[in-house]
Amino acid sequence: MRLASAHDAPDTGHEADFRRLATAVAKYWVCKRGPHHAYESLECLGGNGYTELFPMARRLREAPVNAVWEGSGNVIALDVLRALAKQPAAAEAFLAEMSTTLGTDERYDAQFRRMHALLEAASSDPGSAAGLARQLIEALALTLQAQVLLTHAPAPVATAFLAGRLDPTTRGMEYGTLPAEVDLGALVDRA
Ligand SMILES: Cc1cc2nc3c(=O)[nH]c(=O)nc-3n(C[C@H](O)[C@H](O)[C@H](O)COP(=O)(O)OP(=O)(O)OC[C@H]3O[C@@H](n4cnc5c(N)ncnc54)[C@H](O)[C@@H]3O)c2cc1C
């Protein structure tokens, strides 16, 4: 919704610069995360989820096509590098927005520093930037998600994201690996 609102704004200024980079980042991340999310959702429904009588099997099968017809991972990664090279204001707008939540949580601050270092490395050496591109986009996506949640979401939701996705001491590779500090009751009540 944050990105959608940026697309409603005029074609110049902060919103236009922000959406130039954030659109590619969101597209990459949604396409990459989608199939795994569909797989986990299918598993929640057990055998019913797997059969063709339920819609989940089709959702899982169709999920990878987003990254084929909306631009593959590599092609979006190259688009992000193109934005950095041709429109420096896009990175500046992105950083300015991400800076607004600095100081609210040390896990976010550490993520911001990681993202910033990757951004500087990719911008200062375009020759080797392609090798860093996927790492960079992932860092941009996670920072953007955390920033939006810290700004707009109820505290238990933002905390769950910071603990489960950003903090290297508590995050897991899979769904359902949230640490004990997360208020699961609040998350379930919200759903
Ligand atoms: C169901 C479906 C419907 C479609 N409908 C339409 C349509 O209506 N109109 C239309 O125009 N197209 C349509 N397409 C085509 C779609 O746009 C192309 O599939 C898409 O552009 C990818 O091209 P490609 O399949 O030739 O793969 P390729 O471009 O050959 O990509 C294959 C792999 O190579 C990688 N790669 C490609 N270039 C680079 C690069 N420069 N650097 C690094 N890696 C690279 C990609 O990341 C990818 O992993 C459709 C596709 C599908 C699956």
Decide if pLDDT at 32 tops 90: yes
Print burial letters for 105-127: b (CB count within 10 Å at least 16), e (below 16). bebbeebbebbbebbeebeeeee
pLDDT per position as a tens digit, 106-128? 999 999 999 999 999 998 888 88
Q: Relative to the CA of 73, which ligand 1 atom is closest?
A: 47
CB-ligand 1 contact for 130 (6 Å cutoff): no
Who's near 44: CB < 8 A, 6+ residues apart? none
From ligand 1's centre to the CA of 75, what distance in Å? 9
Burial category of 149 from C-beta neighbours within 10 Å (exposed 0-12, middle 13-18, buried 19 and up): buried
Q: State in Å: Cα 70 to ligand 1 middle.
A: 8
**61 CB near ligand 1 (under 6 Å):** no
DSSP single-letter state for residue 63: G
Minimum mean pLDDT range among 24-33, 66-75, 140-149: 66-75
Q: Which two tokens stand for residue 32?
A: 């990459």
> pLDDT per residue over 56-105, tens digit each?
999 999 999 999 988 899 999 999 999 999 999 999 999 999 999 999 99
Please compute the mean of the pLDDT values over residues 134-148 and round it to a whole number. 98
Which protein residue has the closest C-alpha to ligand 1 atom 16? 69
Closest residue by Cα to atom 47, ligand 1, is: 74
pLDDT of residue 127: 85
What's the confidence (pLDDT) of residue 131? 94
Amino acid present at 13: G
163-178 mean pLDDT? 93
Q: How far is the CA of 68 from the centre of ligand 1 (A)?
A: 5
The pair of three-digit structure tokens given for residue 23, joined into one six-digit string: 């659109």
69 CB under 6 A from ligand 1? yes
Rounded mean pLDDT, 176-183: 92
pTM here is 0.92
Tell me which DSSP letter residue 64 carries. G
End-to-end CA distance of the chain: 18
pLDDT higher than 90, residue 146: yes
Determine the pLDDT at residue 125.
87
Q: Average pLDDT for residues 28-50, to the nearest whole number?
A: 95
Q: Using one digit for the tens of pLDDT, what is the confidence trace for 3-25?
A: 999 999 998 899 999 999 999 99
CA distance 157 to 170: 15
Of 68, 76, 80, the one to substitute when testing ligand 1's pocket (max ligand atoms within 8 A of C-beta) is 68
Query: What is the residue-wise DSSP string for 116-155?
Result: HHHHHHHHH-HHHHHHHHHHHHHHHHHHHHHHHHHHHS-H
